[in-house]
Amino acid sequence: MKKTWWKESVVYEIYPRSFCDSNGDGIGDLNGITGKLDYLSDLGINVIWLAPVYKSPNDDNGYDISDYRDIMDEFGTMEDYDHLLEEAHKRGIKIVMDLVANHTSDEHAWFVESRSSRDNDKRDYYIWRDPVDGKEPTNWGSCFGGSAWEWDEKTGQYYLHCFSRKQPDLNWDNPRVREEVFDLMRFWCEKGIDGFRMDVISMISKKPDFVDAPVDDGIYGNTSLEVSYGPHLHEYLKEMNQKVLARYDLMTVGECGGVTTEHAKKIANAEGTELGMVFQFEHVSVDGGPDGKWYKKPMPLPALKENLSKWQRELDGRAWNSLFFGNHDQPRIVSRIGDNSPISAKAAAVALYSMQGTPYLYQGEELGMTNYPFKGIEDYDDLECINAYHQIVEAGFRDPEELLEAIAYKSRDNARTPMQWSDEENAGFTTGTPWFHINPNYREINAKSQIYDPDSVYSFYKRYFALRTDSPWKNLLVYGKYQLLAPEDEAVFAYIRYADEQKLLVVCNLSAADRTFEVPESVQIDPSLSLLINPDESQLLISTYKDSRLSRTLLLRPWEAGIWAV
Ligand code: GLC
Ligand code: CA
């Protein structure tokens, strides 16, 4: 496996709106981030993935961009950005920008022109279609509810928007659109940024036929199936690679909902002809229901392990994995894999980050920040869950109370409550009125109380990342091969990482009960390789308990998780 800096890095996602407010307007901003760089550097992360900071009317919190070469007013100025980049680089922290180029805002100059008339020069920058039988050209639904087609009265056609109606999809089949995107990427590369996270990049090549999709939520066709992994996806990514990416030293990661390992092996291929990594979502979907994510169910551990192991196995030596549970679209990991307790946050980190791939954490995860106690639908800000609620309730599909519980459990808004910096008013996030609810548990869960507490989640994350980025075990943890143990175990996630003569045993009790785990004497990898495990000659590298000891029959306390060199 070819070694690169981004395989050996830990990536920290910042959702700027909720990170830190520097000027008291209640909204996080760029100077707020700059002010926290020492905190991040102390934690030991290497890369910041910055969720969108470009000019945007904020229909989808910055994922609807109206100018890719400017900064959102609420977040500051381009000077503030340049300052952030410079200060981050001074501390050895790299910055990866969020490239949202499957769609723009409807307020972007390209779309304003495109919709101005049918013969406008930029008409074909977007996807316009005539009505079919007087209505929408297909049954496709938007990911945020309603139809994916919006009628434009003035020019008498529909435009496609896979997300909100204020996020029209760009037409990547138009070479001029691709050049525009490559150009704006160069603009940022020339500033010296270190990479791109590419928003829904799997959707840029639509299948050409535009036919109805199977209806699996009972109302609209499943658009994803028709617009993802279209015939030109790999071609466009290769073109982007040749024209932009290959000319700089960048980390790239494509957000790829519904990706198969086959596509992932191409997109994140080891030769680097497309992107560096993919973000796949199968493992955060195993606790979903028949028609999507709005269910409140415990994470079925055997299914989760099987899925993660499949990705480990299939990509090994061929492509590169991203290791994540949380991001700005997911509920809090400690409320989903864990039971909200600090120790469960630590155990989940050991289980996830000890696999092969690049670790990603989302702001607040290092503090064990939990889901928010949402009640009514009026408590939410995010259009995804608000629209879903109204659509499902109006259709009479679900009991509203039960649906609300599921939404409280899964809503993206759980990740978007402001960072809990201290036990002071508004959790130290702002001196003004925060744009969104602050989790009432900020008095117990906050950075200030954790930084100097050796037993805190923060200190554990810090020690853990040091092991992964700066220790004799680094190579093995980053590049070593993976083998799952005890696949059927309902509570214990255990595996081996190995390379040459070195072996690590990872055992995590992901439950609040005592468990027993039988450490195998040897693990047969293939006919020619069998790995011996001798607990008597083991060395503990890290554990969620101070006094963890390996033995053949291992008694695990609640959320006991450790790594042993064996
Ligand atoms: C991605 C983003 C999400 C956004 C959507 C539309 O999934 O992560 O936050 O709403 O794309 O841009
Ligand atoms: Ca602010």
Which atom of ligand 1 is found nearest the CA of 60?
10
Distance from the CA of 100 to the center of ligand 2, in angstroms? Answer: 23
* Whether 401 and 418 share a structural domain: no
Of 280, 268, 281, which is closest to residue 316 (Cα–Cα)? 268
Q: Is 196 in the pocket of ligand 1 (CB under 6 A)?
A: no
> For the domain that residue 127 is a member of, what is the CATH number?
3.90.400.10
SS3 content of the chain, % helix, strand, coil (to 5): 35, 20, 45
Q: How do 529-532 and 492-499 pair as beta strands?
A: unpaired
Q: Is 199 in the pocket of ligand 1 (CB under 6 A)?
A: yes
* Whether 188 and 266 share a structural domain: yes
pLDDT at residue 419, as a whole number:
98
* Whether 141 and 37 share a structural domain: no
Q: Is 100 in the pocket of ligand 1 (CB under 6 A)?
A: yes
pLDDT at residue 429, as a whole number:
98
* Whether 140 and 254 share a structural domain: no
Task: Tell me, yes or no, whether 474 lies in a domain.
Answer: no
Q: Which of 60, 61, 224, 285 to mutate to test the pocket of ligand 1 (most atoms within 8 A of CB)?
A: 60
Q: Which of 99, 142, 199 to mutate to test the pocket of ligand 1 (most atoms within 8 A of CB)?
A: 199
* Whether 266 and 369 share a structural domain: yes
89, 83 Cβ separation under 8 angstroms: no
Q: Is 413 in the pocket of ligand 1 (CB under 6 A)?
A: no
Task: Tell me, yes or no, whether 5 lies in a domain.
Answer: no
> For the domain that residue 530 is a member of, what is the CATH number?
2.60.40.1180
Task: Tell me, yes or no, whether 473 lies in a domain.
Answer: no
Distance from the CA of 77 to the center of ligand 2, in angstroms? Answer: 12
* Whether 396 and 417 share a structural domain: no
Which atom of ligand 1 is found nearest the CA of 163?
6
Task: Tell me, yes or no, whether 382 lies in a domain.
Answer: yes
Q: Which of 200, 203, 223 to mutate to test the pocket of ligand 1 (most atoms within 8 A of CB)?
A: 200
Please tell me the residue having the least CA distance from ligand 1 atom 4. 63
Q: Is 13 in the pocket of ligand 1 (CB under 6 A)?
A: no
Distance from the CA of 162 to the center of ligand 1, in angstroms? Answer: 10
**What is the signed CA dihedral for 284, 289, 290, 291, rounded to 10 degrees?**
-80
pLDDT at residue 79, as a whole number:
98
Task: Tell me, yes or no, whether 492 lies in a domain.
Answer: yes
Residues whose CB is less than 8 angstroms from the CB of residue 408 and which lie 6 or more positions away in sequence, other chains included? 296, 371, 372, 373, 374, 375
Other Cβ atoms less than 10 A from the Cβ of 93: the count is 20
Q: Which of 59, 163, 201, 383 to mutate to test the pocket of ligand 1 (most atoms within 8 A of CB)?
A: 163
Q: Is 163 in the pocket of ligand 1 (CB under 6 A)?
A: yes
* Whether 47 and 136 share a structural domain: no
Task: Tell me, yes or no, whether 32 lies in a domain.
Answer: yes
468/472 Cα distance (integer angstroms): 9
415/42 Cα distance (integer angstroms): 23
* Whether 135 and 267 share a structural domain: no
Q: How do 277-279 and 251-255 pair as beta strands?
A: parallel
Q: How do 149-152 and 251-255 pair as beta strands?
A: unpaired
Nearest-ligand number for the alpha carbon of 26: 2
Q: Which of 14, 329, 387 to mutate to test the pocket of ligand 1 (most atoms within 8 A of CB)?
A: 329
Domain hosting 550: range is 480-565
Q: Is 281 in the pocket of ligand 1 (CB under 6 A)?
A: no
Listed residues 410, 432, 467: the one ending a domain: 410
The backbone region for 325, taken as left when phi is positive above 0, alpha when psi lies in -120 to 50, beta otherwise, is alpha
Distance from the CA of 120 to the center of ligand 1, in angstroms? Answer: 29
Nearest-ligand number for the alpha carbon of 61: 1
277/271 Cα distance (integer angstroms): 12
pLDDT digits (tens, 9 = 90+) for 365-422: 999 999 999 999 999 999 999 999 999 999 999 999 999 999 999 999 999 999 999 9
pLDDT at residue 1, as a whole number:
78
Nearest-ligand number for the alpha carbon of 64: 1
| Annotated catalytic residue 80 | no
The backbone region for 542, taken as left when phi is positive above 0, alpha when psi lies in -120 to 50, beta otherwise, is beta
465/474 Cα distance (integer angstroms): 10
Nearest-ligand number for the alpha carbon of 51: 1
Distance from the CA of 223 to the center of ligand 1, in angstroms? Answer: 15
* Whether 36 and 86 share a structural domain: yes
Task: Tell me, yes or no, whether 1 lies in a domain.
Answer: no
**What is the signed CA dihedral for 61, 67, 69, 72, rounded to 10 degrees?**
-40
How many domains is the chain built from?
4
pLDDT at residue 216, as a whole number:
81
Please tell me the residue having the least CA distance from ligand 1 atom 2. 199
Annotated active-site residue in 13, 98, 199, 274: 199
Which atom of ligand 1 is found nearest the CA of 64?
12
Nearest-ligand number for the alpha carbon of 164: 1
Q: Is 60 in the pocket of ligand 1 (CB under 6 A)?
A: yes
| Annotated catalytic residue 199 | yes
Which atom of ligand 1 is found nearest the CA of 63?
12
> For the domain that residue 227 is a member of, what is the CATH number?
3.20.20.80
* Whether 266 and 346 share a structural domain: yes
Q: Is 63 in the pocket of ligand 1 (CB under 6 A)?
A: yes
Residues whose CB is less than 8 angstroms from the CB of residue 552 and which lie 6 or more positions away in sequence, other chains included? 518, 519, 521, 535
Task: Tell me, yes or no, whether 312 lies in a domain.
Answer: yes
Annotated active-site residue in 180, 255, 329, 382: 255
Please tell me the residue having the least CA distance from ligand 1 atom 12. 63
Q: What are 375's two structure tokens?
A: 């009640």
Distance from the CA of 169 to the center of ligand 1, in angstroms? Answer: 13
pLDDT in tens, the chain (566 residues): 799 999 999 999 999 999 999 999 999 999 999 999 999 999 999 999 999 999 999 999 999 999 999 999 999 999 999 999 999 999 999 999 999 999 999 999 999 999 999 999 999 999 999 999 999 999 999 999 999 999 999 999 999 999 999 999 999 999 999 999 999 999 999 999 999 999 999 999 999 999 999 998 789 999 999 999 999 999 999 999 999 999 999 999 999 999 999 999 999 999 999 999 999 999 999 999 988 899 999 999 999 999 999 999 999 999 999 999 999 999 999 999 999 999 999 999 999 999 999 999 999 999 999 999 999 999 999 999 999 999 999 999 999 999 999 999 999 999 999 999 999 999 999 999 999 999 999 999 999 999 999 999 999 999 999 999 999 999 999 999 999 999 999 999 999 999 988 999 999 999 999 999 999 999 999 999 999 999 999 999 999 999 999 999 999 999 999 999 99
Q: Is 329 in the pocket of ligand 1 (CB under 6 A)?
A: yes
* Whether 58 and 143 share a structural domain: no
Question: Which secondary-structure segment (H or E) carries 315?
Answer: helix 301-315
* Whether 67 and 116 share a structural domain: no
Nearest-ligand number for the alpha carbon of 432: 2
Which atom of ligand 1 is found nearest the CA of 162?
6
Q: What are 210's two structure tokens?
A: 């535009």
Please state the separation of Cα 513 from the chain's center in Å: 29
User: DSSP letters along 423-446, please?
Assistant: SSGGGGS-SS--SSPPPGGGGTS-
Q: Is 59 in the pocket of ligand 1 (CB under 6 A)?
A: no
